[in-house]
Amino acid sequence: MNDMHAIPATSALALEPPSTTREWLSVASVALGAFAFVTTEYLPVGILPQIANSLGITDGVAGLMVTVPGIVAAISAPAIMLGAGKMNRRHLLLLLTLVLVASNLMSALAPSLPIMLLGRGLLGVALGGFWAVAIAAAGRLVSESKAAKATALIFGGITLATVLGVPFGTFVSTLFSWRVSFAATAGLALLTLLAQWLTLPSLPSREGLQGRALLGFLARSNARRSMLLLGTVVAAHFTAYTYIAPFLANEAGYSPSAITAILLGFGLLGMLANFAMAGSIVRYLRLSLGAVVVLMVIAQLALPALNGWGVALAVLVWGVAYGAIPLGVSTWMQLTSPQLPEASSAMLVTTFQVAIASGSLFGGLMVDHAGVSSALWLGAGIGVLGLAVMLSFGISKAPIAEALQR
């Protein structure tokens, strides 16, 4: 038996060297990367009408700027996890952040839709790869006892980007142009690259995800059903949310500055809901997730019939609902197969990105053929389908993990 196994846990922690300032700075650089990636991914949502007018395309076609990176990221997440081989994870993270810089610059300078979509495709490659390695690397940047705190800090970058990403792009576009919004995000990515270059230690590769683990995960019917639950709930959001700016401008008559304020409120309330509901999500997962999905569906159905302050209020209610949804569906996926955490993580990223891509794609088709309000109705319909999938697991009060493993 290894001598360390004979040491009590408290003694082992006492022998563990404390995390240094340099190590926490490296965690902060990865959290900054999370902020830059998610901000870039969501950036077009707030400036969709401006880009569509500039490139001479419809709002629905402009939604491909959200669809394309989602599709590419869905493929690249497991592909990079399987194919990165022995490449040092420090070098891989730096390379992916460099691709993020190039993606934003290409988008900022894009003279046409094909060039724009090429830039957004590059984002998808970098995005999928980043999530495939960043969370796993978090626990290696600090001492073992601080790994959970480091991971939480990186997820904090995601939360902040969810709050600020869309209104940031709208605000900068209002002051200057949508091209400056992408240029500013390129600057943020460049700052991230510099921070990671200065702080990230060498991260030699460890044994990564194996193909048989992915196949084993996908062989489980409950795992596949959980992926369907995740996919429908997230797609329900992005089918409608991708086109919220055209709706607020064209249907509700809000000015660009008012749209910025509403989207900022959406993000802030979502962040508060994320933290406020963390405890209930863990304790009462079915009830909490079901409640916020119902709330999102109600808001989407109500929006086309409202006007004035009613529209703003419904969007804010939607923000409260969606703020708790990523945590809820992620927790559900993690409980599906706790014995296969890496496979579950990879398929979570893939399913989430497929949901974003498909939601924005079908929402765009509805916008161009039946008006922007139709995307809200479609989103609500997909949300109801997600509720049906959830009910297929039953309404037992038993823990999800036990229910899924029977």
Q: Which of 236, 242, 183 is nearest to 61 (CA)?
A: 242
Predicted local distance difference test score (pLDDT) of residue 210 = 61
More confident residue, 28 or 150: 28
More confident residue, 150 or 341: 150
pTM here is 0.75
Model confidence band, residue 148 (pLDDT cutoffs 50, 70, 90): low
Check pLDDT > 60 for residue 399.
no
Structure tokens, 158: 């995601």
Dist CA 263 CA 17 (whole Å): 44
Dist CA 133 CA 322 (whole Å): 26
Rounded to whole angstroms, what are the CA distances from 285 to 59, 217, 237? 36, 21, 19
Highest mean pLDDT among 110-114, 153-157, 219-223, 278-282: 110-114
Predicted local distance difference test score (pLDDT) of residue 234 = 92
Check pLDDT > 70 for residue 94.
yes
Domain ranges of the chain: 20-202, 210-406
Predicted local distance difference test score (pLDDT) of residue 402 = 42
Predicted local distance difference test score (pLDDT) of residue 397 = 57
Q: Mean pLDDT throughout 241-254?
A: 88
Contact criterion met (CB below 8 Å) for 243 and 375: yes
Contact criterion met (CB below 8 Å) for 133 and 70: no
Predicted local distance difference test score (pLDDT) of residue 349 = 78
Predicted local distance difference test score (pLDDT) of residue 12 = 42
Dist CA 208 CA 79 (whole Å): 12
Contact criterion met (CB below 8 Å) for 27 and 154: yes
Check pLDDT > 90 for residue 107.
yes
Predicted local distance difference test score (pLDDT) of residue 156 = 67
Predicted local distance difference test score (pLDDT) of residue 282 = 66
Specify the CATH class of 20-202 in words: mainly alpha
Check pLDDT > 70 for residue 208.
no
Percent of the chain with pLDDT over 90: 27
Dist CA 284 CA 286 (whole Å): 6
Q: Which CATH number fits domain 210-406: 1.20.1250.20, 1.10.3720.10, 3.30.1360.10, 3.40.630.30?
A: 1.20.1250.20
Outline where 247-284 has alpha helix (H): 256-276, 278-283
Under DSSP, the state recorded for 19 is: P
Under DSSP, the state recorded for 247 is: I
Predicted local distance difference test score (pLDDT) of residue 251 = 87
Predicted local distance difference test score (pLDDT) of residue 403 = 44
Predicted local distance difference test score (pLDDT) of residue 339 = 65
Predicted local distance difference test score (pLDDT) of residue 144 = 64
DSSP per-residue letters across 343-363:
HHHHHHHHHHHHHHHHHHHHH
- Measure CA 130 to chain center: 12
Check pLDDT > 50 for residue 46.
yes
Contact criterion met (CB below 8 Å) for 104 and 183: yes
Predicted local distance difference test score (pLDDT) of residue 147 = 63
DSSP per-residue letters across 127-168:
HHHHHHHHHHHHHHHS-GGGHHHHHHHHHHHHHHHHHHHHHH
Under DSSP, the state recorded for 392 is: T
Contact criterion met (CB below 8 Å) for 314 and 373: no
Look at residue 209 and give its three-state secondary structure.
coil
CA torsion, points 16, 135, 382, 71, in degrees to nearest 10? Answer: -170
Predicted local distance difference test score (pLDDT) of residue 152 = 62
Predicted local distance difference test score (pLDDT) of residue 294 = 95
Exposure b/e, 107-129, CB count within 10 A at least 16 = b = bbebeebeebbebbbbbbbbbbb
Model confidence band, residue 217 (pLDDT cutoffs 50, 70, 90): confident
Predicted local distance difference test score (pLDDT) of residue 273 = 80
Dist CA 324 CA 333 (whole Å): 15
Amino acid at 177: S
Percent composition of the chain: helix, strand, coil (DSSP 3-state, to 5): 85, 0, 15
Q: Mean pLDDT throughout 59-68?
A: 86
Check pLDDT > 80 for residue 302.
yes
Check pLDDT > 90 for residue 186.
yes
Q: Mean pLDDT throughout 312-331?
A: 86
Amino acid at 56: G
The reply to whether 210-406 shares the fold of 20-202 is yes
pLDDT in tens, 358-393: 888 899 889 888 888 999 999 999 999 999 998 887
